[in-house]
Structure formats: C-alpha cells, structure tokens
Amino acid sequence: MAVLVGRKAPEFKADAVVNGKFESVSLTDYKGKYVILFFYPLDFTFVCPTELHAFQEKLEQFKKLNAEVLGVSVDSKFSHFAWVTTPKKQGGIEGVTYPLISDLNKTISADYDVLVEGAGIAYRGLFLIDKEGVVQHQVVNALGLGRSIDEALRVLEALQFTEEHGEVCPANWQKGDGGMKPSDDGLKDWFKDK
C-alpha cells in the first residue's frame, strides 16, 4: 500500500452522477477547497449505503469547513444513477447529492493504491486533500469495516487548526481543544496540566 501523505494527490477526470445528473468531474475542479475523497467497493451492496448516507447527513458540516465530499467506485455512471434513484428503504441511496465518480476502468483506484488485487474493486480508502492538492491524511479499511464520518470531520478540523495556529494536535484532539507548540517546551507545557 502506497503512502500518499505529503504528496500531490493523483489527478483524475471521470464521469460522475452529481445531484442526480451526469457530469464530468476532475480533482482540479476543487482547487482552493479541501477534498474528502473516499472509495467504496460497489453500488447496491451492504456497508456502502450506510457510509454514503452518513456522508450525506454530515455534508453541510463539511461544506462549512470549505470541504467537498467525493465518492468513487468501479461502477458505471449508469449504475450510480440507478442506485441514487432507488429509495433508501429498498437499499438505495436516494437523497445523496455529492458527486459519485465512476472508475469503470479502475485507474483512479489504482492511482490511489486501493484496488483489491484480483477482485477489481476498491478497499474503503479515504483521503483528505488540502487546498493545494496535497494529501494530508489517508486511511484504508478492509471491505467489511465501515468508516467513521465523524473521524473524517475531526481530522479535517485538526488540519485546519494546525494551518491556522501553527500548533500541532495531540492524541484525541477535538475541535475547541488547544493545540501544542511543536517543541520540547510545548510538550512539557501540554503535560503540565495533565
């Protein structure tokens, strides 16, 4: 598995379903914004719709943080459209408005090194890309392990805190917590009150 943190995020341009319509989407469309790029195995499966709905439920929180959410799977744009027009009670993702990108030729999944060898689907990869297009965080789950959307929000808030204050975020940092200076003195000050 490649570590992309600290590197430019691999560029892509692909077909997508965005708010129920077919569009072409590229990573450069989002320059100047933070991007939560997440991969999921397949449309019309089991853990995947729980994640896609969970991202939709938090979408406004991401947008308030100047972040866009993009989902990617190896399905066609037509499969994405069929799934997004299927009601939730029937296993669909009706109501999901953020872009669902079609990686039918599997190049995006391969470029982000989340393609499952021999299976032709992607692991549950999540990449936080900063406003300059650099990967700042990545996490990859096995197929059966759903991810925490709250953790994706927390890491985005932590990144923005470090950018704004020049301090680092210690373990279990939450929005509203202070950071610490990245030095011996900063560490000692942090533990002084603990």
Mark whether 169 is an active-site residue: no
Catalytic residue among 17, 35, 48, 52: 48
- Indicate the SS3 state at residue 153: helix
HEC string of 29-63 equals HHCCCEEEEEECCCCCCCHHHHHHHHHHHCHHHHH
Rounded to whole angstroms, the Cα distance separating 13 from 163 reads: 28
Angstrom distances, CA of residue 89 to CA of 56, 85, 92, 93, 167: 16, 12, 7, 9, 45
Rounded to whole angstroms, the Cα distance separating 137 from 129 reads: 7
Catalytic residues: 48
